[in-house]
Every structure is written in structure tokens, then in C-alpha cells.
């Protein structure tokens, strides 16, 4: 039994579908044919029983039959020819008296019960002494008959079995044609229905061989195959977008790395040439070169860290989410901002607000926003920081962002023309936007009244943690 399912699994899908359809139709047809055959058999047998029950030999016929069995019937008296076999059954157990020229039928217990008056009638199927299958109906004799004697009327079962044999042959032929037709129809339906699956398989094979993600499958209808095609098209589109973004990230990263690496290489070559030629670089120039090398190393380290942050999938979390105090994180970021812009005035109004986020990533995002404000604020300027009902705003009084540049401020490696002379990689705001989105929040940069820019971060609140004991 275990070999059949394995063989089915080894067949192609369309062959399995056609075979299953044929099997289902075969079972249904077999059930219908069996029900039809059994119903016909019952009806024909019932009709034969009705015919036998209507045969009522009278008293004269019974007396003639008894005389014939005892050998006392005159030659000029004979029973009229009849298709039935009539015999008398005695309740005493003696041999039955069978109509002349007819084969005797074995007497059953229910026949003797009728003769003894214990039953009104009995009907059963038995074999005559010559092997003929007979249907027997036994009943009490007509009024005037002999007491203790029953009359059995029998007919061959050919009237039932012959039509049933013909019916079985017809049902077998029709069932065979139906099963073969169902298998052919199932195979045709399977081929037609699975044609989109074949197209999908060819498309997948083409993508695997050529890595061509521009392949799209035509979508027709709203069935499961159509949904599968839409899912495949959406998948290839997402993969194409991801590959384009990856290529763009690599190209942009190479471009951004080239500048600090070129400067670092130039400074190191100057130091190496000085050692090789024996020409000492003036102390002040050597100190400036070393400071430049350190600055370039710091910039490279920051750029590599930003690239590592952005290399993670968008759906991946940098760490486990925790309920953290946004106001405390903002205060810590403000301390670092004041160290980087000691000449600036930074005011802060922070109301308590708890969020669910990764603490280190959220602090880095707030630091990046404050660094942008410090970077673009004029000397002696003011930065206003406020946290109220889950919205953190950072307002600077710098040159502001042109309207045409606002749609690009969160793109990777994008820097406005006015910011290209300032240190940075153009990844800070991209990391901020990603961190805020992972925490379920929103970020926006808008022009401020009177000049400058307002950065707004909105984060959903989280249950306040219990106080520490």
C-alpha cells in the first residue's frame, strides 16, 4: 500500500491530477452502477414475487395434483400446461407432491411452517433438484383445500438474472467509457490549468540562469494562479530594487571612501618621502599632517560604521527593543552636542516620554539630528530642543534647506551643495530615518519661520516602567 503513493508522487503534477480525477470518477461511477444494479434487482425480484403471489391454485387443481402424485389420476384428466412449478407441501414432513413433468423443489422450514398454519406465506430462493435457481412463494391453500397442506408456486430466476446480467454488461461498458473520458478530460484540464504554472517555472529557470530580474508574468483573472503570478512579479521587482540599491550603495560608498583615502594616502606619502630622503618636515607642518591623518582615520572609521549600520536588512532590528526614556536619551545627546558646539546656545524643554526602541540606536539617531543642527548653525547661534507628548523637535537658525532638496535629505550619501564642504558622509539622516521607522515613528524636516530648519521626530509611547526599588 505504501508503494502506490510513492509512485503517484513520482508522476508529474498534471498526470497525478488526471489520475486522481479518473479515480474519483471511477469510484463515483462504480457507486452509481452498484446502486442501479441493486435497485433493479430488488424491483425485478419484487415484481416476480407479486406475480407468484397472484397465482392461486383452486381446490380442483390441488385434488388433481394429489391424485397425480398418488398415481390415481385417470389418463383422460391432466393438469393444463403452465410456466409455474406447483407442488404441495405437507406439515408432517412427507415428500412434497410436485406437478407432473416438473422438477421437485427442496422444501424449506418456512414452507412447512405455512403448511402447519404458523405463517400466512413465505417467499425464498432455492435450487431445484436439477440445479435451476427458483423463486418460491408458499401460501395456504384456497378454501376447501386440505388442512395441513401448503401450496408452493415457483418460477425460474432467469426472469431476474438474465436482465441483471445484461444490465451489468451495459453498466460496465458505460463506466469504462466514462472513466477513460474523465481521465482524458482531467489531463486536458490539468494541462490547461497548469499552463500558468509552467510559465512561472520557465520564468524562474530563466531568472536562475540569466539573473534577469526584469522578467514579468502576465496576470489574468483573480484565482490562485493569478495571485501566485502577482507574488512572483512582486518578488522579482523587490529583488531588482534591492539589487539596484545595493549597486548604488557600493558605488556611493566607493565614491565617498575615495576622498578620505586619497587625502590619507597623500599625507602618508609625504611622511614616508621625508623619512626616505632625510629631509625633515618642519614640526608645525608635521603636526598638521599627523592631525590630518588622524582626522581622515576618524572619518573613515565613522563612514565604515555608517556603512555597517546600513548594510543590515531593513526588517532586521539592531538589538532587542526595550522601554527607554526618550527624555534621558535626549539629555545625554545634548551633552555631546554642547561639547561639539561650545560657542552655541542650546536650550531644552523635555517632558517625560517613554518609547519602545533599541537604546544605543535611538541615542545615535538623536545625536545625529543634534550634530546636523550644530553643523549648520552660525557661530553664536541658538538651537532649541523640545520634547512634548512624544514629539522631539530640534530647531536651528542656520541657512535652512532649499525646497527642492527636502525630498532627498533622507537618501543615502545625498548632500546638499552647501554641505559638501563640511565633514560628513551623507548617511546620518538615512540612519536616523531607519532607526525611527524601526521604532514605529516618523521623522520630518521642514523650513522654520525666520530661517533655519526644524527636525521633528514622533515616536509612539510605551507603558511607563515601574520605579526601581
What is the rounded CA–CA span in Å between residue 347 and residue 349?
7
Question: Which of residues 291 and 419 earns the better pLDDT score?
Answer: 291
pLDDT digits (tens, 9 = 90+) for 320-337: 778 889 999 999 889 888
pLDDT digits (tens, 9 = 90+) for 404-435: 777 767 766 555 555 444 554 556 677 788 88
For residues 126 and 108, is the Cβ–Cβ distance under 8 A?
yes
Question: Could you identify the residue written with the cell 442501479?
Answer: 36
Say whether pLDDT at 469 is over 70: no
> Which range is least confidently modeled, 190-204, 246-260, 304-318?
304-318
What is the rounded CA–CA span in Å between residue 415 and residue 201?
44
Q: Quick check: pTM over 0.85? A: no
pLDDT at 146: 57
pLDDT at 144: 46
pLDDT band at 465 (very low <50, low <70, confident <90, very high): low
For residues 122 and 154, is the Cβ–Cβ distance under 8 A?
no
For residues 333 and 432, is the Cβ–Cβ distance under 8 A?
no
State whether residue 358 is helix, strand or coil: coil
pLDDT at 1: 44
What is the rounded CA–CA span in Å between residue 134 and residue 83?
12
Question: Which of residues 110 and 195 earns the better pLDDT score?
Answer: 110
pLDDT band at 288 (very low <50, low <70, confident <90, very high): confident
C-beta atoms surrounding 253 within 10 Å: 20
For residues 55 and 84, is the Cβ–Cβ distance under 8 A?
yes
Q: What angle do CA 214, 219, 223 make, to 5 degrees?
A: 140
- Classify residue 461 by its DSSP letter: B
Question: What sign does the dihedral 303-304-306-307 (CA atoms) show?
Answer: positive
pLDDT digits (tens, 9 = 90+) for 373-416: 888 888 888 999 999 988 999 999 888 877 777 776 776 655 55
Mean pLDDT across the chain, nearest whole number? 78
What whole-number percentage of the chain has pLDDT above 70?
77
pLDDT digits (tens, 9 = 90+) for 79-100: 556 778 888 888 776 777 877 7
- All cell numbers assigned to 419: 554641505
Strands 442-447 and 97-98 come out as unpaired
Amino acid at each position: 500500500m505504501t508503494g502506490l503513493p510513492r509512485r503517484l508522487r513520482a508522476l508529474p503534477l498534471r498526470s497525478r491530477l488526471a489520475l486522481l480525477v479518473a479515480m474519483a470518477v471511477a469510484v463515483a461511477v462504480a457507486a452509481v452502477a452498484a446502486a442501479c444494479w441493486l435497485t433493479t434487482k430488488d424491483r425485478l425480484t419484487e415484481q416476480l414475487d407479486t406475480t407468484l403471489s397472484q397465482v392461486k391454485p383452486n381446490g380442483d387443481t390441488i385434488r388433481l395434483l394429489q391424485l397425480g402424485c398418488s398415481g390415481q389420476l385417470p389418463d383422460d384428466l391432466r393438469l393444463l400446461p403452465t410456466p409455474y412449478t406447483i407442488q404441495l407441501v405437507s406439515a408432517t414432513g412427507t415428500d412434497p407432491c410436485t406437478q407432473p413433468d416438473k422438477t421437485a423443489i427442496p422444501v424449506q422450514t418456512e414452507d412447512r411452517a405455512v403448511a402447519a398454519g404458523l405463517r400466512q406465506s413465505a417467499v425464498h430462493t432455492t435450487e431445484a433438484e436439477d440445479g435451476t435457481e427458483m423463486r418460491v412463494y408458499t401460501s395456504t391453500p384456497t378454501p376447501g383445500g386440505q388442512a395441513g397442506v401448503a401450496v408452493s408456486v415457483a418460477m425460474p430466476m432467469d426472469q431476474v438474472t438474465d436482465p441483471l446480467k445484461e444490465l451489468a454488461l451495459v453498466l460496465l461498458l458505460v463506466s469504462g467509457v466514462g472513466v477513460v473520458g474523465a481521465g482524458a478530460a482531467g489531463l486536458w484540464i490539468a494541462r490547461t490549468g497548469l499552463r500558468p504554472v509552467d510559465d512561472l517555472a520557465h520564468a524562474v529557470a530563466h531568472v536562475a540562469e540569466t539573473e534577469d530580474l526584469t522578467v514579468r508574468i502576465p496576470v489574468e483573472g483573480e484565482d490562485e494562479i493569478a495571485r501566485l503570478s502577482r507574488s512572483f512579479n512582486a518578488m522579482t521587482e523587490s529583488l531588482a530594487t534591492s539589487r539596484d540599491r545595493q549597486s548604488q550603495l557600493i558605488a556611493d560608498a566607493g565614491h565617498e571612501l575615495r576622498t578620505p583615502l586619497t587625502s590619507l594616502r597623500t599625507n602618508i606619502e609625504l611622511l614616508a618621502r621625508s623619512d626616505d630622503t632625510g629631509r625633515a618636515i618642519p614640526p608645525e607642518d608635521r603636526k598638521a599632517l599627523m592631525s590630518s591623518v588622524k582626522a581622515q582615520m576618524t572619518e573613515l572609521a565613522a563612514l565604515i560604521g555608517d556603512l555597517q549600520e546600513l548594510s543590515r536588512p531593513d526588517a532586521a532590528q539592531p538589538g532587542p527593543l526595550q522601554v527607554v526614556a526618550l527624555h534621558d536619551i535626549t539629555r545625554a545627546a545634548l551633552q555631546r552636542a554642547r561639547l561639539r558646539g561650545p560657542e552655541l546656545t542650546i536650550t531644552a524643554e523635555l517632558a517625560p516620554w517613554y518609547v519602545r526602541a533599541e537604546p544605543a540606536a535611538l541615542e545615535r539617531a538623536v545625536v545625529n539630528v543634534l550634530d546636523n543642527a550644530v553643523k549648520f548653525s552660525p557661530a553664536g547661534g541658538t538651537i532649541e530642543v523640545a520634547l512634548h507628548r512624544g514629539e522631539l523637535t530640534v530647531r536651528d537658525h542656520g541657512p535652512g534647506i532649499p525646497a527642492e532638496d527636502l525630498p532627498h535629505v533622507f537618501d543615502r550619501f545625498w548632500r546638499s551643495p552647501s554641505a559638501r564642504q563640511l565633514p560628513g558622509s551623507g548617511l546620518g539622516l538615512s540612519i536616523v530615518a531607519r532607526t525611527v521607522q524601526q521604532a514605529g515613528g516618523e521623522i520630518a524636516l521642514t523650513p522654520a519661520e525666520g530661517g533655519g530648519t526644524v527636525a521633528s521626530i514622533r515616536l509612539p509611547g510605551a507603558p511607563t516602567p515601574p520605579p526601581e526599588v
